[in-house]
Structure 1
Amino acid sequence: MSIRVMSKVWDMDLPAKDKLVLLALADCANDDGLAWPSIATLARKCGCDARTVQRNLRRLEAAGHISREEVIGKGCKYRFTPRQIATPDKSPPRQNDGATKTTRTPGKLPPKPSRTVNDLPNGKSKTRVQCAKPDEVSEAIWRDFTRQRKKPVTETALKGLKREADKAGWTLEAAIEEATMRGWEGFKADWVKGASNDNRNRNSTGGSTRNAAQEALARLQHGR
């Protein structure tokens, strides 16, 4: 009896009668998967008649589980096909069996990259890093201004804002606040030219300044 062949048969998905006949055949096989029992022997092992055994053998042969060779005067030799004998187990052995299953924890996410704009002639991307908030500008005004801009406020852009605010006689915070309220990307002294000098430092409500600035802007837009 071939233990190796029989263990493979037990793992095969077959109808009950086919598996019973195949087990009986494996019980008579050697380690090479070769068996030569008589039909009567197989019928006795399976507890069924010879015709049933022959029918099951033909079905197993058609399915490719065994091959049959007739030997004149000696009956038939049955051989389990190599693929059936060498078929690996359904489930491969677990690696690191008994060890605690661990899950790889991804590393911390990298910091968000700086916003970039494609403004080089060759189409390459140039990184523009947003500068830190100036000390003279409040956190809320700076946050609102940077959120509405499509581009980050670079050091160069901030210098331009300061220069234009000085030219208009405004504080940097007042200029940035005005730009934020009007949805401007920046600030130009000419945009508020003629506005009242009152309250430009935004120390009070700033209403008179905004009104004067609105009037000046309206005059510029209408060419007056």
Structure 2
Amino acid sequence: MIMSACWPLQMPPCQKAVLVSLADNANDQGVCWPSVASVSERVCLSDRSVQRSIAWLIAEGYLKVSDRPGRSTVYQILFPKKSVLAAGVPAPTPDCVSPPPPTDSHPRPTVTPDCVSPHPRPTVTPPPTVGHPTPDTQSPRTVIEPKGNRKGTAIGEGARAPALDLSPLPAITPRVWSDYLLHRKRKRAPLTQTALDNLAAELHLAVAGGWTADAALAEAMQFGWTGFRFDWLLRAADRGGSAPGAGQRGRRETPAQERRQSFMAGMADLAHGREASNAARSSSTEFVDAG
């Protein structure tokens, strides 16, 4: 009713814009209390122009102002009889023109009587809020398993290998042991506890055969062996690769040393579950008789 009564009025553009803005903020009784700054922002005018337009509307009888100390100014839109009759719009009833004074800083929506508002605004249903549905507790869940590498272990596992038990090993200098670990690392054969136990057993056979553990590991690294077995060392010594004890090459062995080496080779074969050769058995017999 208030907005529809404002459109036919004839007045300067600035005053008309301010009046329409106030009517848009007003309730069904034509009461509103917007600030000058908010009206200025809506009609694209300066604060001074809005204030002059409000003064003109008051002087012409279109507005009634009520000051509230410490609060915003209350405006009530009025329609002079001459302007309303000239526009062909019926004047509002006295009950609608004299509303009770507002008690809040913002107008509350009130129920519009049917006699005042013959064309009620249609109720607009807000669109439904579309959100992500909550998964059912019974629905299967996707579980991301840790990725595995080519060795079959999960990524992150094995980053810190467990400490090895070095007690089965014979006496080895730290430098030789560090070189041997680096040698296996270059061959991508990390030393496990099982491999260490087998290495310790073979090194004890080498020590029993007159080698030192340092010399045996040095020969293994020299020949490029990833593992180590005492019979490999004996075969290499038979081919002239090294001599027992000092790790030297090119020394001619005495018959006693040859019998001792053949005896140790037979012992290594028996330790690995292989049958000793005839030469090894005869050499071992001779070695025992000589002892």
TM-score for the superposition, normalised by structure 2:
0.28
Structure with the higher fraction of residues in strand conformation = 1
TM-score for the superposition, normalised by structure 1:
0.37
